[in-house]
Amino acid sequence: MSNMAGEQHLLSTEIVNRGIESSGPDAGSLTFSVRVRRRLPDFVQSVNLKYVKLGYHYLINHGIYLATIPLLVLVFSAEVGSLSREELWRKIWDSTTRYDLATVLAFLGVFVFTLSVYFMSRPRPIYLLDFACFKPDDELKVTKDQFIEHARKSGKFEEPSLEFMKRIVDSSGMGDETYVPRSIAAPENTATMKEGRDEASTVMFGALDELFEKSRIRPKDVGILVVNCSIFNPTPSLSAMIINHYKMRGNILSFNLGGMGCSAGIIGLDLARDMLQANPNNYAVVVSTEMVAYNWYPGKERSMLIPNCFFRMGCSAVLLSNRRRDYRRAKYRLEHIVRTHKGADDRSFRSVYQEEDSQKFKGLRISKDLAEIGGDALKTNITTLGPLVLPFSEQLIFFATLIWRHMFGGGSKGDQAPTHPKPYIPDYKLAFEHFCVHAASKTVLNELQRNLELSEKNMEPSRATLHRFGNISSSSIWYELAYLEAKEKVKRGDRIWQLTFGSGFKCNSAVWKSVRRVKRPSRNNPWLDCLERYPQQEI
């Protein structure tokens, strides 16, 4: 009974009237069907204390010097709190005249040395100078009906599969202006190296051309290049394609990340940050994309047809710098990255799994438990992130109620199951001004909004991106940030939370702080031609 109660919040039921039975022993009677839908777990139901401790461990590792401030305040207060102003000045004068010049110089030397060690040991600030989001040509734009017609024209799908995909697309939250490659309507196989390279060169070079134009950085100035694409991984690599196309320098540090899902954009960002910390006075470019045609599944299995319905063309390119003099022209400073990996659990590992079906067609199989698995990874990630970003008042209330719950909330009454007081869930809206949540689907965004208690305004960039561009995998968080910039919502000092999740199963967070007010760009922004239509009430 207790197990059933624990699982109840993961499910939602819907009773559907199917009409009157026409034959059989129940002829003439009403018939009903019950649909059971899995939901993200409520974060308020259980919070693992070890992830709270992990968050504080990150905080201590990255800011242990903060612990010395209260100590110095206490010591200084105890020393001078009981003294009058005249006594304080007399005490300072007596202490300075008591020591000779050598002692004073030695003290100053130790002070300067300690201060130098502190500043030298601090990690270099990582600045985001600019970024670009690729916008395909209008001839690749499709409505939802046109998308189904393209699939029908290819001759690869039977009518039940087409009907299933139509239902998914209609309820996905996507609009009628997303982009797909021409090849998906072709009867030939689209998962070829030629098609993959053609699409990769279109989206990657389009985003990079725009980035270099906006930032006025030459390709030869880039010292670090990170490319992430999950499904399409040719030889030579995608990073090598970019180096060859732009004739980049021979000592560039290049990396190509494959198979890491929709959360790979922040993984690439984390790798670029580490490389910038180890290589001073440098620029890094992170390219995030996915190849739609190469991932096109032509089979019958419904769990493998779902990716066909959601993924669309897109690519982002981000320029980072560790040069302190770039502060004046930077847009954002990287504050935190927190990564969570649930791959040790077999169910999480197989939740998004590439394999062949019974007909030997290759595709991505989506587990029916994906919502539950994703919710668990998300809960772990935000619990770890909390101590790094939440105001002290929120942390204090949260930690106190959590300890109270673990120590005194386990009592039971008679035959009833143990009752646990609901823990206090911090208000993340106090930690961030803007939210860029990976636009996976309408259902996922609804559940995230419910669990994190976010407003429609908080979810506006994610819903607009899903509606206008679809699920564009790891690049979606940058289209969302471009939306915020186009709306001129980013002010100096604003904090932006980018949240992604993907196969493995992984959930990753990146936190940025705006170093200046970002004005609406006059060009090179994918939202400029449709900005007045958003937000839309129906999305």
Q: What pairs with residue 30 in β-bridges?
A: 20
Q: 531: which 2 tokens?
A: 């900005």
Instruction: Based on the residue annotation, tell me whether 9 is a catalytic residue of this protein.
Output: no
Instruction: Based on the residue annotation, tell me whether 434 is a catalytic residue of this protein.
Output: yes
3-class DSSP state for residue 139? helix
Active-site hit among 438, 458, 507, 525: 438
Q: What is the DSSP string of 214-254?
A: HHT--GGG--EEEEE-SS---SS-HHHHHHHHHT--TT-EE
Nearest to 240 by CA among 209, 184, 181, 200: 200
Q: 354: which 2 tokens?
A: 């590439």
Q: 209: which 2 tokens?
A: 């051309």
List C-alpha distances in Å: 393 to 44, 380, 389.
19, 21, 12
Active-site hit among 256, 295, 458, 471: 471
Instruction: Based on the residue annotation, tell me whether 406 is a catalytic residue of this protein.
Output: no
CA distance 219 to 247: 8
CA distance 168 to 171: 5
CA distance 134 to 102: 64
CA distance 331 to 367: 39
Burial 35-44 (b: 16+ CB within 10 A, else e): eeebbbbbbe
**DSSP code of residue 504:** T
Which residues, including other chains, have CB under 8 Å from residue 432's CB and lie 6 or more apart?
389, 495, 496, 497, 511
Active-site hit among 282, 434, 507, 508: 434
Burial 192-208 (b: 16+ CB within 10 A, else e): eeebbbbbbebbbbbbb
Number of CB atoms found within 10 A of residue 530's CB: 14
**Positive/negative CA dihedral, 321, 257, 174, 348:** negative
Whether residue 184 contacts residue 172, with contact meaning beta carbons closer than 8 Å, is answered with no
Q: 233: which 2 tokens?
A: 């991984």
Whether residue 470 contacts residue 440, with contact meaning beta carbons closer than 8 Å, is answered with no
Q: 146: which 2 tokens?
A: 């046109």
Whether residue 225 contacts residue 255, with contact meaning beta carbons closer than 8 Å, is answered with yes
Whether residue 488 contacts residue 518, with contact meaning beta carbons closer than 8 Å, is answered with yes
Q: 117: which 2 tokens?
A: 């060690």
Active-site hit among 341, 420, 446, 530: 341
Active-site hit among 229, 262, 309, 315: 262
Instruction: Based on the residue annotation, tell me whether 245 is a catalytic residue of this protein.
Output: no
Instruction: Based on the residue annotation, tell me whether 62 is a catalytic residue of this protein.
Output: no
Q: 446-449 long-range contacts, Cβ below 8 Å, gap at least 24?
A: 447/39, 447/40, 447/371, 447/375, 448/40, 448/378
Which residues, including other chains, have CB under 8 Å from residue 455's CB and lie 6 or more apart?
429
Active-site hit among 322, 381, 467, 507: 467
Residue type, 157: F
**DSSP code of residue 9:** T
Residues designated as active site: 262, 341, 434, 438, 467, 471
